[in-house]
Amino acid sequence: MPRFQRPTGTLDILPEEQSYWEHVRAHAIRLARRAGFERIDVPVFEATDLFARGIGAATDVVEKEMYTFNDKGGNSLTLRPEFTAGVVRAYIEHGMHVRPQPVKLYSIGPVFRYDRPQAGRYRQFHQLNLEILGTQDPAADLEIMLLVWDLYAGLGFRGLSFQLNSTGCPRCRPAYVELLKSYYHRHVDQICDDCRRRLETNPLRVLDCKAAQCQPVIEAAPPIGDHLCDECADHFAQLREYLDLLGKPYTLNHRLVRGLDYYTKTVFEVWAAGIGAQAAVCGGG
């Protein structure tokens, strides 16, 4: 056995694999550019605080999964666990709000999460990130959803469908979270230890718990769709109407939440058939 091996959860992309990799990347970039997205590259590391504030200090990503280090100047830096925080930082830092809105940006490159390695999950992995900044229009959600649909369809994935939810906004989400917490407190003896902890730190995440004992509790939990404010409900209805008009299959999934605090309103996943346990090929919102 060689003295050094690649770190757990990382991949070497060997010369004979490069053509596949290049095919996927070129396809993604072609679709993004055709849809009017411009490329932005942001640093691989940023101030730790940016992620703690942008993603949310109590999220799994920030609590457990970040590669954080002090540089020789004593600054706390973190390898990016996702793109959005850095892209939004750049949008503000460069005054991009004065450009014609919305601003549509794509990024592609490695991100880093100290996650439990498993099939299809790595500690350094590549993301295509799409952002539409400066609009609240549900058509912006639709645009990204259709783009990633074309991305996977063009790569030969079959049986595609969307999973769809709305996680509300700062006006309506807090009341729902309180409702969810009081429901869970009534079932606290049935749920796993992780959920007991999440209930205090990041309550929405109880809904995507994978533990068997939590499934009946999740099934009977109040769905957020019944507790949206008028604006969020209209936004969500409009998006569903677009999808109906386009004949794109979707399933409403009230368990679909995101681990990151900045998500508001729409969250979605693209599911593909016939690829095994990891049915979700992509997520966003």
Q: Is 180 in the site for Zn ion (CB under 5 A)?
A: no
- Pick out residues in 205-224 that bind Zn ion (CB under 5 A): 209, 211, 214
Contacts of 259 (CB under 8 A, 6+ apart): 59, 60, 61, 202, 205
Stretch near Zn ion under the rule CB under 5 A, chosen from 27-35, 79-87, 165-173, 272-280? 165-173
Nearest distance from residue 167's CB to Zn ion, in Å?
Answer: 9
Binding mask 225-244 for Zn ion (x = CB under 5 A): ----x--x------------
CB nearer to Zn ion: pick between 126 and 227: 227
Q: Residue 47, interface with Zn ion (CB under 5 A)?
A: no
Q: Provide the 10 A C-beta neighbour count for residue 178.
A: 11
Alpha carbon distance 283, 281 (integer Å): 7
From the list 122-130, 144-152, 186-194, 252-260, the region that binds Zn ion by CB under 5 A is 186-194
Q: Per CB under 5 A, does 204 bind Zn ion?
A: no
Give all strands of the β-sheet with 76-79 in edge-to-edge order: 45-47, 76-79, 68-70
Q: What is the DSSP letter of 8?
A: T
CA dist 25 and 20 (Å) reads 9
Q: Which of 75, 83, 28 is nearest to 54 (CA)?
A: 83
Asked if residue 192 binds Zn ion (CB under 5 A), the reply is yes
172 binds Zn ion (CB under 5 A): yes
- 130 vs 217, beta carbon nearer Zn ion: 217
Q: Which residues of this chain interact with Zn ion, rule CB under 5 A?
A: 168-169, 171-172, 192, 195, 209, 211, 214, 229, 232
